[in-house]
Amino acid sequence: MTQRNTALALAIASALAAVPAVAQDAAVDTSEWKCESCPFQTEHEADAELGVLYADEDSAKFGEYNGLDEKGAYADVNAAGGGRNESGTYYRYDLTDLGLDTREAELVFGKEGMLEATLRYDELPHRVWDTTVTPYERSGKDTLLLPSGWVQAGSTTGMTSLAGSLSDVDVGTDRTTLGAGLDYLFGSSLKLFADYSRQEIEGNKLSSASFLFAALQLPEPVDAAHDQFELGATYRWKGGFARLMWYGSVYDNSLSSLTFDNPYVPLATDTAQGRKATAPDNEAQTYSLDGNFLLPWWQGVVSYRLAEGTMDQDQDFLPFSTSAALSGTATLPRSNLNGDVSTSHYRAALSLKPHSRVRLKAGYRYDERDDGTADFTSAYVETDSVTASAATAGRYGYERTRLDGFGEVRALDWLFLGVGGEVDEIDRSNQATDETNEEGAYLQLRMRPWGVVELTGRYGESHIEAGDYVVLPGSPPENPLLRKFNQTNRDRDFADARLTWSPGKVAVSLEGTYAFDAYRLSPLGLLSGRDYRYAGTVSWAVNEAASVYLAGSYQNIATDQAGEETFPTSSNPWSVQHEDEFTTAGGGLVWNDVAGKVDVTFDYTYAKSQGAIETVAVPASAAGAFPDLETELNSLRVTASYDVNERLRVGVAWTWEDYDSSDWQIAGVEPATLPGLLSMSPDPYKYSVNVIGLSFSYRFGGAAAEPEEAAE
Amino acid sequence: MTNWKGTAFAALAWAVLLLPAGALAQDKAEAETPAYSKAGADTCLNCHGDNAVVMEIFRTKHARPGDPRTPFGHGQLQCEACHGPGGAHTKRPKKGEQRVPVVQFGRGKASTTAEQNAMCLGCHNPNLGDWHASMHQDNEVGCADCHDSHAARDPVLSKATQVEVCRDCHQLQVADALLPFAHPLHEGQLACSSCHVPHGSLADASLKKDTINETCYTCHADKRGPFLWEHQPVGEDCTLCHRPHGSAQPAMLTQRSPFLCQQCHQAQGHPSVPGVPSGLPDGSPSVYLLASGCANCHSQVHGSNHPSGARLTR
């Protein structure tokens, strides 16, 4: 820990000890408050839903995260309930989407004022592609083989057995999360807590690999688990709280590598297969102390956090190559990385209100990523194809220190004027720029001219000054005129505004943001970026039973970048302008208690993205504008439910979603379109899916459903 | 790095904390202690007991008689723990006068946001962590703007419905989730609070973990490493290349390959070759441009643990 951070820790610790105990509120005699009319829960109560859904089309994109990716019927089963007895023992459960690939369940049980335990189960599908093909077949858990009779060639055009070897393969994963948590209370001040979760991810992903300049896409298996632990204690008192916690994370990948047949004519003997490493097993942990304490003056609050952590990785290295001949007599400098990164995070924030019209805030943040891994230098084998001269693995770390402040004055009863700023210093190791310093400031205005209107606006600038930019040596050398955008000088203007207007039953909300970045010393690389967006929503509570809304948004992101094809002897400069536009619109209606029995909802969503890319290059004949990248979504959902009686409800739902996209990067790229890439040929997403549903809901126990009334 | 920032901060902390409280104390008017009702909730429910929305409180954590920390715990103030002393409220108003209000929650109510939040923070300060340092506090967001404390199932606490609550203010971020490549917020499979702490944290953007990367690693631990061959921006900040709220580019990238890669890499040879429309399938299809662009070969952009992975190809 540096001297600076020691001082910070000492200040916080001393202040903690100095905070006086705050007197308890004057006692109120509640001995006669019997709460005899309080209907505390004393029996099991639940809502259960049983139904069926039907999707009329296969689509991975439609089912990307809802699991309805295949045409057919699905069970729609949900239940939520709980119970409690007079001794204060209780339980609660939520069972959701039990018939779908998104099923989840949570069970909570405990003893009031003593403990609460939680068990969790959750499935999350991620369907990515259902239009992909591959000649590879999985053998074992970590090997992909080509079919017998495969004809190797120097390019895909010569792979004469390719067309007959292709099989459909869906791409995606299923993530299963299991969890358990426990809170245990010692009185009203001390709580011990523990939590464990395990994510299991299985499936495959569209990956790629290469043999020098010839590449291939392949369905890379995914089979990994991630365990996370939290253990800690929270102590609260009238004047604040403190929490001591340990967080642990263990990532366990059951696949350490992926071996795959070489579809091309090998560039060297003994290279019929290639092998790539998968994400290595790794561990991380963090010890932290955080909390706050309320100062006895100026409504002051100090929040703090001290955290120290490590990230370790010692997965055994693979051999240099599948080819013993290419590996030769080269030996690994060591058997594994023995990677060792330490992290430090120290934070403090102070909030004061020295006057009824003034509030002040200040913050300090320090982050360090210190990579203590020993150097690694070795000759190696390039893509299981040729030997390469020695290279050294760079270790990257940084120290980041930020100070920020904000002050606001209520100049008039309806007018708030604020000013804020931040200083951000990053020191990096082993990079082109050792240090960047950013200073920024902004002005803020908040107005409440009338009770129903609030307007907030902010404008600010920030400037990054970078140290000398020295290109790191490499082979081939990097263009010395290029500046990496996170390590160079940058001027930023930013502004945002928000208006809310709530006259009675109507509410209007408008907001917009703008930011412009100029990398003023970058001849090449990212030169500028601009992002502006705005959005609005109008809602109207027609009456206690009905409400409608309209919403829309627009976003425009533009960037300029430049390059140079050859250097230093000749230029052939080029530049690229990007512009992405994104528009959304939607509206909806909720109408409850129609004729006292029927609830109806209607929601429509429209979203369109459009991306334009234009390259200016030499020769000009090769350059120009790309076809627009486009996506368009139309989504409509209508539901209705009918209360058969006070406990039974029947519901129907219809969802229609239409999606169309064009993407020149994958459109028309068949497995052999590119001589140097054996593609899996995903198609741009396109679907039109209807999902209809019918369900019955029943309420067990407790009070039967009654028409809703507004709370006072 | 100079030490002035840390020293300045430590000095500020000492100065504020050790200043005599008496010298800084504001004058406080001696307020008359308001009266509570005679019978607590039994008094309140005489009038409000028919209101189903009010009565749902008895299916929530706030109404746990066995937990002395809750409003309905033994010896606690029941309804008046949150709504404040109701003695005056229970008295019949004189003709032509309004009934004396209790603390009311929600937007547009007579009670100010500060008054509402003060009632909540009286008990919840330890749970709210860094609320006082949060943007929500800065913008005077009321607890009841997001929470429905009378609801048996508070929508903001449910993964499936939380985004609808957040959308009231965060229209732009929620709209981003409709972009072609986005986390599953609209599907209800991820909540804003999966990454953010709405009650405030001392991390960027009120994230759950200390840094952006450490937040991402809670689900994407395969990107954590450390790897033998690292890609510098990966360990520093995931958002240098990704837009976590959604993007029109695959993998939620800020720009697609090869253009994104060429914002930092233009080494001699193919890395400096521009992407041009003549490289599309109807021209001279380019492996540097189509499919995954640079990642067709350099597939290990998050780092490689292969001893031959120097160029992130293995």
Question: Which residues in B lie closer than 8 A to residue A431 (C-beta atoms)?
Answer: 232
Locate the chain A residue with the closest alpha carbon to B314: A276
> Which tokens sit at B95?
């003709």
The answer to whether A203 and A234 have CB atoms below 8 angstroms apart is no
Mean pLDDT of chain B: 88
The answer to whether B102 and B91 have CB atoms below 8 angstroms apart is no
* Residue B127: per-residue pLDDT: 61
Question: Which residues in B lie closer than 8 A to residue A331 (C-beta atoms)?
Answer: none
- Can you name the residues that pair with A541 across neighbouring β-strands? A547
Return the biggest CA–CA distance within chain A: 93
The answer to whether A191 and A118 have CB atoms below 8 angstroms apart is no
Question: Which residues in B lie closer than 8 A to residue A551 (C-beta atoms)?
Answer: 171
Of B107, B133, B179, the CB nearest to A361: B133
Inter-chain touch B132–A311, beta carbons under 8 Å: no
| Distance of residue B290 Cα from the nearest chain A Cα, in angstroms | 5
Locate the chain A residue with the closest alpha carbon to B8: A4
The secondary structure of residue B229, as a DSSP letter, is B
Name the pLDDT band for B17 (thresholds 50, 70, 90): very low
Q: How many CA atoms lie within 13 A of B27 on its CB side?
A: 1
Task: Provide the 3-class DSSP secondary structure of residue A261.
Answer: strand
**Interface residue of B62, B265, B308, B311 to substitute, partner A, most A CBs within 10 Å:** B308
**Interface residue of B44, B157, B305, B312 to substitute, partner A, most A CBs within 10 Å:** B305
Of B38, B42, B175, the CB nearest to A37: B42
Of B72, B256, B272, the CB nearest to A564: B272
Inter-chain touch A277–B237, beta carbons under 8 Å: no
Closest alpha carbon to A350 in B12, B114, B209:
B12
Q: Which amino acid is at A98?
A: L
Question: Which residues in A lie closer than 8 A to residue B61 (C-beta atoms)?
Answer: none
- Can you name the residues that pair with A516 across neighbouring β-strands? A493, A530
The ipTM estimated for the assembled molecules is: 0.93
Locate the chain B residue with the closest alpha carbon to A312: B226
* Residue B186: per-residue pLDDT: 93
Q: How far apart are CA B214 and CA B204, in angstroms?
A: 11
Question: Which residues in B lie closer than 8 A to residue A286 (C-beta atoms)?
Answer: 210, 214
| Distance of residue B271 Cα from the nearest chain A Cα, in angstroms | 8
Inter-chain touch A666–B202, beta carbons under 8 Å: no
Closest alpha carbon to A394 in A332, A474, A463, A334:
A474
Q: Quick one: how many helices (H) and strands (E) in chain A?
A: 3, 37
Percent of chain B scoring above 70 in pLDDT? 88
Q: How far apart are CA A467 and CA A483, in angstroms?
A: 12
Question: Which residues in A lie closer than 8 A to residue B248 (C-beta atoms)?
Answer: 580, 582, 609, 611, 629, 631
Higher pLDDT, B71 or A13: B71
Pairing of strands A104-111, A214-237: unpaired
The answer to whether A425 and A454 have CB atoms below 8 angstroms apart is no
Please compute the mean of the pLDDT values over residues B304-313 and round it to a whole number: 97
Residue B275 lies in a domain: yes
- Can you name the residues that pair with A341 across neighbouring β-strands? A311, A371
> Which tokens sit at A66?
């809802």
Question: Which residues in B lie closer than 8 A to residue A536 (C-beta atoms)?
Answer: 171
Residues 6+ apart with CB under 8 A from A504: A452
Inter-chain touch A622–B237, beta carbons under 8 Å: no
Q: How far apart are CA A204 and CA A318, in angstroms?
A: 21
Please compute the mean of the pLDDT values over residues B179-208 and round it to a whole number: 95
Q: How far apart are CA A371 and CA A430, in angstroms?
A: 11
Question: Which residues in B lie closer than 8 A to residue A378 (C-beta atoms)?
Answer: 307
Tell me the pLDDT tens digit for each residue of A606-627: 999 999 999 998 777 778 999 9
User: Between chain A and chain B, how many beta carbons pairs sit less than 8 Å apart?
Assistant: 514
Burial class (CB in 10 A: 0-12, 13-18, 19+), B98: exposed
Q: What is the pTM of this model?
A: 0.92
Does B173 score more than 50 pLDDT?
Answer: yes
> Which tokens sit at A312?
């370790």
Q: How many domains does chain B have?
A: 1
DSSP codes, A398-413: EEEEEEEEEEEEEEET
Could you tell me the end-to-end alpha-carbon distance of chain B, in angstroms, rounded to an integer?
Answer: 37
Burial class (CB in 10 A: 0-12, 13-18, 19+), A706: exposed
Q: How far apart are CA A79 and CA A93, in angstroms?
A: 8
Question: How many C-beta neighbours within 10 Å does residue B116 have?
Answer: 21
Backbone angles phi, psi at A524, to 5 degrees: -130, 165
| Distance of residue A611 Cα from the nearest chain B Cα, in angstroms | 8
Closest alpha carbon to A310 in A252, A368, A224:
A368
Closest alpha carbon to A561 in A493, A488, A510:
A488
**Interface residue of B276, B286, B288, B301 to substitute, partner A, most A CBs within 10 Å:** B276
* Residue B4: per-residue pLDDT: 52
Locate the chain B residue with the closest alpha carbon to A250: B221
- Can you name the residues that pair with A208 across neighbouring β-strands? A217
* Residue A160: per-residue pLDDT: 96
> Which tokens sit at A676?
């140097």
**Interface residue of A38, A661, A712 to substitute, partner B, most B CBs within 10 Å:** A38
Residues 6+ apart with CB under 8 A from A620: none
- Structural domain harbouring B276: 223-296
Of A378, A553, A665, the CB nearest to B175: A553
Q: Which amino acid is at A53?
A: L
**Interface residue of A674, A679, A683, A685 to substitute, partner B, most B CBs within 10 Å:** A674
The answer to whether A677 and A156 have CB atoms below 8 angstroms apart is yes
Residue B285 lies in a domain: yes
The answer to whether A198 and A226 have CB atoms below 8 angstroms apart is yes
Locate the chain B residue with the closest alpha carbon to A681: B291
Residue B255 lies in a domain: yes
Locate the chain B residue with the closest alpha carbon to A484: B264
The answer to whether A338 and A386 have CB atoms below 8 angstroms apart is no
**Which residues of chain A carry a pLDDT beneath 70?**
1-27, 570, 703-712
| Distance of residue A494 Cα from the nearest chain B Cα, in angstroms | 16
Residue B149 lies in a domain: no
Of B10, B64, B285, the CB nearest to A8: B10
* Residue B128: per-residue pLDDT: 65
Residue B242 lies in a domain: yes
Residue B200 lies in a domain: no
Which position has the token pair 């992405």?
A: A580
Q: Which amino acid is at B300?
A: Q
Locate the chain A residue with the closest alpha carbon to B107: A502
Question: Which residues in B lie closer than 8 A to residue A366 (C-beta atoms)?
Answer: 6
Residue B3 lies in a domain: no
Locate the chain B residue with the closest alpha carbon to A498: B169
Question: How many C-beta neighbours within 10 Å does residue A570 have?
Answer: 10
Pairing of strands A143-145, A167-168: unpaired
Q: How far apart are CA A276 and CA A265, in angstroms?
A: 19
CA distances from B83 to A24, A299, A648, B102, B116 (A): 19, 22, 35, 6, 9
Q: Which amino acid is at A129?
A: W
Of A257, A350, A396, the CB nearest to B232: A396
Residues 6+ apart with CB under 8 A from A145: A136, A137, A138, A139, A260, A261
Residue B102 lies in a domain: no
Inter-chain touch B202–A290, beta carbons under 8 Å: yes
The H or E element containing residue A668 is: none
Inter-chain touch A28–B285, beta carbons under 8 Å: no
Question: Which residues in A lie closer than 8 A to residue B217 (C-beta atoms)?
Answer: 249, 284
